[in-house]
Amino acid sequence: MVQLTKARMLQIINCLLQRNVARDRTQTKYASFSEVLQLEEKQYTGIVSPLQELAKYMAPGVNTSCFHIFSPNQKDIKTAEAFFIPSQKHIIDYFISAVRMDHVPQLSQPEVCFLGRSNVGKSSLIKALFALAPDIEVKVSKHPGHTKKMNFFKVGKVFTMVDMPGYGYRAPKDFAEMVEPYLIQRKNLKRIFLLVDGIIGIQPEDHIAIEMLEEFGTPYVLVLTKIDTASKTVMAKNVIQIHDFIQKNTQGCFPQVFPVSSVYYSGIHMLRCFIAHVAGSFHLSS
Ligand SMILES: Nc1nc2c(ncn2[C@@H]2O[C@H](COP(=O)(O)OP(=O)(O)OP(=O)(O)O)[C@@H](O)[C@H]2O)c(=O)[nH]1
Ligand SMILES: [Mg+2]
């Protein structure tokens, strides 16, 4: 196991957990799972399992059973992380961009895609998931409507991840013509990750997207983004409301949400493990 110096440990803690320090995102450091394992329990939980961290801010008696549906152990998380580390034999790279389904080559490897309102944090999330492959360029912008095409990234021969253009404000005009055929026809699409802003919750445009996914029948999962921008109490309330919504109104949605911060990498190790799992890359040992 990698031994951390005290200075490096402090740097990780500062970068990942302090919300009140002036932020210089270019200097936020990613901590590998081996490094996170050496942090104190509270810090470990905050980074690896934001849901469990938020459970502490909920009233006694709130049903948190759906927080443990996907509950990998440390060995599983470590195994999943290895898929996101590039090597000569396991090349992780941008593959192709497409604006039409017929521009996308058929691939046999499983695929997952990231969908959501413009500016919700799709590209940032993919960039954070690829933190161990820093040569990959994933373009992020503070201006909504930045990603205009479906951008495919190959994770070796194991699976592919697709960054979608956003819907809603400043969406590409041909969003529906581009994205709907992909969602309906793509045979190797294993899971849709629908990103919802963790602070403002499910918006009217997201309800339309959820209705559409329910109709298409492809399994999907909600990822709550930007959790670093609100207090834990606000996030805890939102998580309860969203779980309640999923339980009452959806069939195809995974009953557990994945809260993430792409700035502080909270929830990223867990989400990698879920992606590798739904792509069929490995079986959980737990
Ligand atoms: N604080 C914080 N900001 C974030 C996070 N994720 C993304 N952002 C910011 O949100 C803005 C939009 O991020 P993008 O990743 O480009 O959003 P997108 O969903 O890909 O947007 P489109 O391509 O326009 O659909 C950028 O300014 C990001 O820095 C996060 O976890 N925390
Ligand atoms: Mg984008």
The pLDDT-based confidence of 29 (bands split at 50, 70, 90) is confident
Residue range 211-228, pLDDT digits in tens: 999 999 999 999 999 999
**Global pTM exceeds 0.95:** no
**Predicted pLDDT of residue 27:** 46
Give the span between the Cα atoms of 163 and 220, in whole angstroms. Answer: 15
**Predicted pLDDT of residue 134:** 86
The pLDDT-based confidence of 23 (bands split at 50, 70, 90) is very low
The pLDDT-based confidence of 19 (bands split at 50, 70, 90) is very low
Phi, psi of 92 (to 5 degrees): -110, 120
Site to probe by mutation for ligand 1, drawn from 18, 21, 115, 119 as the one with most ligand atoms within 8 Å of Cβ, is 119
Residue range 122-154, pLDDT digits in tens: 999 999 999 999 899 999 999 999 999 999 999
**Ligand 1 mean position, distance from CA 123 (Å):** 7
Name the more confident of 230 and 9. 230
Within the chain, strands assigned E span 92-98, 111-116, 150-155, 159-163, 189-197, 220-225, 258-259
Domain ranges of the chain: 35-278
Query: Is pLDDT above 90 for 99?
Result: yes
**DSSP letter assigned to residue 80:** H
Q: What is the mean pLDDT of residues 40-67?
A: 94
Query: Is pLDDT above 80 for 6?
Result: no
Q: What is the mean pLDDT of residues 189-212?
A: 97
Task: Give the number of other Cβ atoms within 10 Å of residue 257's Cβ.
Answer: 24
**Predicted pLDDT of residue 8:** 66
Site to probe by mutation for ligand 1, drawn from 16, 124, 143 as the one with most ligand atoms within 8 Å of Cβ, is 124
Q: What is the mean pLDDT of residues 185-189?
A: 95
Portion of the chain with pLDDT greater than 90, in percent:
83
Beta-carbon-side half-sphere exposure of residue 50 (alpha carbons within 13 Å): 32
Q: Is the CB of 261 under 6 A from ligand 1?
A: yes
Query: Is pLDDT above 90 for 259?
Result: yes
Residue nearest to atom 22 of ligand 1 (CA): 118
Query: Is pLDDT above 50 for 16?
Result: yes
Q: What is the mean pLDDT of residues 274-285?
A: 94
Give the chain's mean pLDDT: 91
CATH superfamily entry for domain 35-278? P-loop containing nucleotide triphosphate hydrolases (3.40.50.300)
Q: Is the CB of 145 under 6 A from ligand 1?
A: yes
**Run of H or E including 278:** helix 268-278
**Predicted pLDDT of residue 12:** 62
**Predicted pLDDT of residue 14:** 57
Portion of the chain with pLDDT greater than 70, in percent:
90
**Predicted pLDDT of residue 73:** 96
- Edge to edge, what strands does the sheet with 189-197 contain? 92-98, 150-155, 159-163, 111-116, 189-197, 220-225, 258-259
Q: Which two tokens stand for residue 278?
A: 């739904």
Q: Is the CB of 232 under 6 A from ligand 1?
A: no
Query: Is pLDDT above 90 for 57?
Result: yes
